[in-house]
Homo-oligomer: A and B are copies of this chain.
Amino acid sequence: MTLNILDKVNKPEDLKSLSIAEMNLLAEEIRKLILTKVNATGGHLGPNLGIVEATIALHYVFSSPADKIVFDVSHQCYPHKILTGRKEGFTNPEKYLKYTGYTAPEESPHDLFKVGHTSTSVSLAAGLAKGRDLRGGKENVIALIGDGSLSGGEAFEGLDNAAVLGSNIIIIVNDNDMSIAKNHGGLYNNLKILRDTNGKAECNFFKSLGFEYHYIDDGHDIQKLIKTFEAVKDINHPVLIHMHTIKGKGFEAAELDKEHYHWIVPGELDKKEEKAAAAEDYGSITIDYIEKKYRQDSSVIAISPATPAVSGFTNEFRNKAGIHYTDVGIAEEHAVAFASGIAKNGGKPVLAVMSSFIQRTYDQLSQDLALNNNPATILVFWGSISGADATHLTMFDIPLICNIPNIVYLAPTTKEEYLRMLDWSVVQNSYPVVIRVPCGEVISTGIADATDYSILNKYKTEEQGSDVAILGLGNFFNLGKKVKKALADKLGINATLINPRFITGIDEELLASLKTNHRVVITLEDGILDGGFGEKIARFYGNSDMKVLNFGAKKEFPDRVPLEELYERYHLTPELIVEDTKACL
């Protein structure tokens, strides 16, 4: 690839000697690099294509890292990485995985925060600005936030406070009329009015908060961007720049289908044909159930906080479901309280959230939902130990949810259990229920589950043995099976295998009965140990002779550590578990 301009740009200062024409060429070079690299490794495409010119203009006008730029969500930081000394991560296939897809302070002083959840940039930037003021600094502080992130409560709290900061803070709203999926909420009508009036409409959300407001109609016009950025540089009060861009800019397919090309898998751009119908997964199982159910009961409604793909809510499902589906935008707190209100007034809400994002709503789970004991259903998707970025770990949901009173948190191990639990939850009126949807390949027994889950906290003994009992929770029931086999093979022990099913309660009767002919209880959970399921079992047996071994993840933020390595680290292989067990027999 010819990189005539980029070859000369190794740090942000190198931009300052370029002409506008050269910067436009540079934008094209960066765009091509991003397309090639993201197609090779997978990653965020649309957000990065849309922010190329603005990033060039930012680094042309401001002086990072003295001036501080905070990227909201930071999945639009690829051009920034290319311009701040990390272009090898995009030009050299061998270095493609060297840098993360998010800002990472350990990589570069140009990155201020490790960020992957949305709506945080304004508050973080306000903090940087306040820190600067306290120590008498003079640098510019800039927050770059996408319109989709504005719906998150933290962003509003940040804007409301940034507006009265009384000193330099520059907030750039990158308005591409899209969240991950389509935007939802009244605010977006205002953004449209502002776009339609070239920023001139009197009724202006940002002005209502007190911001000095600037509008850029074409966020891909480097000259306009530079002019506006220069006008606000070193300003002594809060200012907001509303900039209109096109998500996926410069790549037609991404401009046309913004949601699809938000994030792509490796090789996506090489595909010539329509994808074959996907195999069954827990997303398709969920929408099949919901479609069937709302035909029987018109009060059923599926809810997504801007992440329908996470739960398999396809476009087809969304269109077909009509009033039985709603996307509340990035607004997890609202989503939970909303579900609680629906359940209180006779509706049957099913809210689907990714494990990593359920973290955004603890108090609503506790106060709005659990304290009121309203029978809403929440599905937590992808709850598991994973090799993901540290910003998107999905292993904290058990401690987050299972220590809240009243909530029934369930861990199905098969398709049949999942469907039975889901239907029980939707039909019952006694509890808020959260289900940790299984991860990975669908395991089906082919035999419908007939359990009455209204009898709470009844664990299921799948195979009766002695000496050692294995409690394999949810995803890790399968690991439990393997441990049972390894214990038989290596130690000649016929272990008992138990499927706890309930994360939030102890089956005291069953656990007490194990004391008669078991010496060791092993707990396996696909999440962190601290505050989780296993520790409760350890507490239960604390006053007895039973040995308890808890297996799960350590309390840490692993960052893109391969799953196999984590399993080794946490002793989550049958071999290591048998070794640990042997040591305490």
Contact = CB atoms under 8 A, between A and B. Distances in A.
B157 A331 contact: yes
Interface string A143-165: 00000000111111111111110
A445 interface: no
Interface stretch (A258-266, A487-495, A541-549): A541-549
B556 A405 contact: yes
Nearest to A133: B323
A529 interface: yes
Interface in A378-405: 390-391, 396, 399-400, 402-405
A134 B535 contact: no
Interface in A201-239: 202-205, 207-211
A398 to B, nearest CB: 9
A116 B367 CA distance: 8
Interface residues of A, number: 123
Interface string A330-370: 01011001111111111111000000000111111011101
Interface string A542-585: 11110111100001110000000000000000000000100110
A205 B205 contact: yes
Contacts of A368: 113, 120, 123-124
A337 B161 CA distance: 12
A186 interface: yes
Nearest to A522: B542
A298 interface: yes
A115 to B, nearest CB: 7
A532 B539 CA distance: 11
A151 B163 CA distance: 12
B337 A124 contact: yes
B538 A542 contact: yes
A131 B341 contact: yes
A426 B386 CA distance: 35
A204 B193 CA distance: 14
Nearest to A185: B160
Interface in A285-328: 298-301, 323, 326, 328
A518 interface: no
B105 A372 contact: yes
A341 B126 contact: yes
Contacts of A333: 123, 153-154, 157
B531 A399 contact: yes
Contact of A117 (B334, B367, B548, B550): B367
A114 B368 CA distance: 8
A131 B344 contact: yes
9 tightest Cβ-Cβ pairs between the two chains A and B: A127-B341, A153-B153, A163-B186, A131-B345, A531-B531, A123-B337, A157-B334, A131-B347, A403-B531
24 contacts: A123-B341, A124-B368, A127-B343, A130-B301, A131-B299, A132-B346, A151-B160, A154-B333, A158-B334, A160-B334, A163-B186, A186-B210, A189-B210, A204-B208, A205-B208, A359-B366, A359-B367, A360-B363, A362-B363, A362-B400, A371-B557, A538-B548, A539-B550, A543-B547
